[in-house]
Structure 1
Amino acid sequence: MSAEHSKMNVWQLTILTAVNMMGSGIIMLPSKLAEVGTISIISWIITAGGSIALAYAFARCGMLSRKPGGMGGYAEYAFGKGGNYMANYTYGLSLVIANVAIAITAVGYAVVLFNEQLSPIQTCIWTIVLLCITTFANFGGARVTGRIGAVTVWGVIIPVVVVALLGWFWFRGSTWTAAWNPHGLPFGSAVTSSIALTLWAFLGLESANANSDAVENPERNVPIAVMVGTISAAVIYIVSTNVIAGIIPNTELASSTAPFGLVFAKMFSPVVGSIVMALMVLACVGSLLGWQFTVAQVFKSSADVGYFLPIFGKATRNGTPIIGMLVLLVAQVALALMTVSPQLAEQFQRIVNFAVVTNLVPYVMSMAALMAIQKVMQVPAHKALITNIVALIGAAYSYYALWSSGSEALMLGGLCIFLGWTLFGFVAARFYDADVKAHVAHPGEALQE
């Protein structure tokens, strides 16, 4: 079989893109969105539009950029080495924060599955225990845990798709309408309050173009797959969460920490609901196993090229960055302790808002860098204009999502960004040394660069 025939077609890449986005981010959303009401469907539509613009812009970045490192490489076109560092730093930080949210989600479902009542401190302790277990389990390498995650993710995807397709048989328009705006919030406030939550479900869309080398006719097929995959995920998200809102009364749904288990118990039986909850707990654990290793690798790869402190680059013989994992675990434990709240759902939202803020920094940088990338790659002006307009739409949405995340998340995110610049001071000199040596060895070339 030729190499070309072994590559993915546009349909296969579209499915892969949608599946990659549909992870554990959706599991708690029906309950959190119920606190706002079904008016949050407007937030879904706005976020879907913004996510499609971002996804298309990232696809173009991936097709045009000749620098390694994903969003860090994109940012370097416009912001230099410091921009590359900051994009990787904030992206890595967002993944560290997101892991805490995944752990809280697993605890929330497990509490309902085992019919337990936990105090805020107990919830925090179990969250920390899960973070520790999934970190220690990766010390031997990620081969097994990666395979586990690839299987367990279907414990989320299948229930979500089933609800979107079959939930209509239990859907009641009156239940959905009664939940429109239960707290009588002003329209703008209601829509804004759920923007960060809906974006949480789409985080990871920037990785959709990672498989461009394995795709037939990538110039044409990658943007198509990214667009269609993102739209497909958006449809499933919007339909599933709103179908649930039309099955479960608003007050009951808003107070649940296991909304998908609740709706399956209502649709079929408590036993089926328990099975779904167990699947989703396993999915969260499997996802967390994979992400704990992935985050450590993100920090290790950045340390290897000099962007992060050398401690993150230390690894065992099999390539496992155990010391980096332990440092990141300490950060996750500290975050879990900092965000202890009377309600598990409240702690979940605080962490989600924080994760969204830090993740949007490399998004904004990449959207700005796309203009520079197109200049460097000499993209025709008319084609560049269209892409730049899409990138500006993605950037505008990103700013709206930042604002909607709330003052606490913006403050914490801002402090982390300033801390990042301080940490960059420890490694910045090595890039200066490299430039000096290059200038001494090849003064003409260094000056031209």
Structure 2
Amino acid sequence: MSNNSSNSSNHKKMSVSQLTMLTAVNMLGSGIVLLPTKLAEIGAISILSWLVTATGSLALAYCFAQCGMLSRKSGGMGGYSEYAFGKAGNYLTNYTYGSSLLIANVAIAITAVGYMTELFGVKLDPMQVGLATIALLWITTFANFGGAHITGKIGSVTVWGVIAPVVAVSTIGWFWFSADTYMAGWNPHNKSLFEAASSSIAITLWAFLGMESACANADAVENPEKNVPVAVLGGTIGAAVIYIASTNVIAGIVSNPELVASTAPFGLAFAQMFNPMVGKVVMAMMVLACVGSLLGWQFTIAQVFKSSADTGYFLPVFGIVNKAGTPIIPMLILLAVQTALALLTISPDLTKQFDTLVNLAVVTNIIPYILSMAALITIQKISGVDPKKAFFVNAISLVAAAYSYLALYSSGTQALMLGGVATIFGYTLFGFVSTRLIRLEKEKPYSPN
């Protein structure tokens, strides 16, 4: 009987190919929607940034897979960081990661607004873009007040509004590819190879944010020690190929000046490949995908803060829920912060505002990455990993950390300054929760181990 149960259990688990596909789909979200425009500002030579980011992301993904397999602490990256940096490291990781998600959602909302202006043929001034962004954030937050049951299902369907056009242009788009158009926009600003490779690393890393979440499915896959690293690396490689192919094929379909001026680059590409109506359909699909992404993430962010509040790492107010278990008050607090961000980052150019928010989101997200990479040495030591294997993994973690610092550098002085201030402010907030952590630790039941 036990053998039958075991076989039944194995049948219910994902295969390595299924987990690889899930990992790739998790990364292929709304992060790519404005990328062709941002990369066109550098030129097609920005493919060098993709190659650097793909290498760095693979190193990060491999190390996260190792962390996920060895760590015995809950809380994802926060749990990893705690091995080396204690509870303050766990808190800082959760705080900066939550802040990054908060900022990223404002960038996604601006992306949706950019596509809507092209879809409906309207011209908005900077204040109107800011107000439209805020309205979208409010609508998607209020829609979650009844719980995430329906909005979660919506998001799992609408994400294909991004994936389908991106995969389509990566494959069939080559029939419309012009080498002359591509080379005319190769290096319009005559940047050096180093400048070209480093100037858009932050924006390319934006597309890969979330790779660390793939390790959360370790319990749902067969032979996780072998298959999780394979799936994480395979999914990251698959996403990288599609990202590089789609952005570069568009650079050979649409001229560089047109691409730089567009706030809906994928719609523009499909309009030139087929006709304006098809372009409009693709724009509508991507707007729906961004809205669906916002619906899911607005609830998820509140849950991230709630979970941290429940374990003592955030202020108790973030743990308040209604009778249905929905964190309405946390969502409203976070919505107020997002509203302020949308107003404070208003720019004459929609893509410039997007750029500011993306760089800030990347800076705050890289801090948990660096803490996790540093903690991997300790995690392996505690887990008794064979020294030869540990040496190899630690070498990869150094590559991942070096890439992370390069991404910080490429984010620009403004993002580094604001990200630094936001991080330091987090230590001030830690003063309000540290005593609560001590109390919760004392309340834990005694364990002789």
Match of 1:231 in 2: 237
1:420 aligns with 2:415: no
Match of 2:358 in 1: 352
1:9 aligns with 2:21: no
Match of 2:57 in 1: 51
Q: Which runs of 5+ in 2 are unaligned?
A: 1-6
1:186 Cα offset (Å): 2.9
Match of 1:94 in 2: 100
Contact 2:52 2:197 in 1 (8 A): no
The letter for the 2-side match of 1:249 is S
Match of 2:4 in 1: none
2:307 is paired with a residue whose SS is helix
Identify which range, 225-234 or 181-190, moves more after superposition. 181-190
1:178 Cα offset (Å): 1.1
1:437 Cα offset (Å): 6.5
1:426 is paired with a residue whose SS is helix
The letter for the 2-side match of 1:164 is S
The letter for the 2-side match of 1:50 is G
With over 3 angstroms needed to count, the CA separation of the structure-2 counterparts of 1:279 and 1:434, relative to structure 1, is closer
Match of 2:284 in 1: 278
**Given the alignment, which residue of 362, 368, 374 partners 2:368?**
362
Match of 1:166 in 2: 172
1:185 Cα offset (Å): 2.4
**CA offsets 1:118-162 (integer angstroms, 9 cap, x no match):** 000000000000000000000000000000000000000000000
Match of 2:380 in 1: 374
Match of 1:430 in 2: 436
**Given the alignment, which residue of 263, 270, 281 partners 1:264?**
270
Match of 2:407 in 1: 401
Q: Aligned partners of 2:83, 2:179: CA distance in 1, in Å? A: 51
For 1:202-351, list aligned pairs within 5 A. Answer: 202-351=208-357
The letter for the 1-side match of 2:42 is V
With over 3 angstroms needed to count, the CA separation of the structure-2 counterparts of 1:437 and 1:300, relative to structure 1, is closer
1:85 aligns with 2:91: yes
Q: Aligned partners of 2:412, 2:312: CA distance in 1, in Å? A: 34
Contact 2:158 2:289 in 1 (8 A): yes
**Given the alignment, which residue of 181, 192, 198 partners 2:187?**
181
The percentage of counterpart residues that share the same residue type is 65
1:435 Cα offset (Å): 4.9
1:434 Cα offset (Å): 4.6
1:234 is paired with a residue whose SS is helix
Contact 2:48 2:196 in 1 (8 A): no
1:208 is paired with a residue whose SS is helix
Q: Which runs of 5+ in 1 are unaligned?
A: none
**Given the alignment, which residue of 85, 106, 109 partners 2:112?**
106
1:5 Cα offset (Å): 1.1
Q: Aligned partners of 1:91, 1:118: CA distance in 2, in Å? A: 32
1:432 Cα offset (Å): 2.7
Contact 2:313 2:437 in 1 (8 A): no
**CA offsets 1:27-58 (integer angstroms, 9 cap, x no match):** 00000100000110000000000000000100
**Given the alignment, which residue of 147, 152, 174 partners 1:141?**
147
Match of 1:197 in 2: 203
**CA offsets 1:318-356 (integer angstroms, 9 cap, x no match):** 111101000000110111111100110000000000000
2:11 is paired with a residue whose SS is coil
**Given the alignment, which residue of 113, 116, 121 partners 2:127?**
121
Q: Aligned partners of 1:176, 1:435: CA distance in 2, in Å? A: 60
Match of 2:80 in 1: 74
Q: Aligned partners of 1:166, 1:144: CA distance in 2, in Å? A: 34
1:187 Cα offset (Å): 2.7
1:211 is paired with a residue whose SS is helix
Q: Aligned partners of 2:442, 2:82: CA distance in 1, in Å? A: 19
**CA offsets 1:193-224 (integer angstroms, 9 cap, x no match):** 10100000000001011111000000000000
Q: Aligned partners of 2:358, 2:49: CA distance in 1, in Å? A: 16
Q: Aligned partners of 2:317, 2:442: CA distance in 1, in Å? A: 25
Match of 2:3 in 1: none
The letter for the 1-side match of 2:16 is V
**Given the alignment, which residue of 70, 73, 76 partners 1:64?**
70
TM-score by length of 1: 0.97
Instruction: Kindly report structure 1 stretches of 4+ aligned residues shifted beyond 3 Å.
Output: 433-438
Q: Aligned partners of 2:75, 2:114: CA distance in 1, in Å? A: 35
1:340 is paired with a residue whose SS is coil
The letter for the 1-side match of 2:61 is A
1:181 Cα offset (Å): 1.0
Q: Aligned partners of 1:60, 1:186: CA distance in 2, in Å? A: 36
The letter for the 2-side match of 1:375 is K
Match of 1:392 in 2: 398
How many residues were matched structurally?
A: 443
Q: Aligned partners of 1:272, 1:358: CA distance in 2, in Å? A: 37
1:190 Cα offset (Å): 2.5
With over 3 angstroms needed to count, the CA separation of the structure-2 counterparts of 1:112 and 1:437, relative to structure 1, is closer
Q: Aligned partners of 2:57, 2:440: CA distance in 1, in Å? A: 38
The letter for the 2-side match of 1:428 is S
Q: Aligned partners of 1:317, 1:78: CA distance in 2, in Å? A: 38
Contact 2:373 2:401 in 1 (8 A): yes
Q: Aligned partners of 2:441, 2:302: CA distance in 1, in Å? A: 28
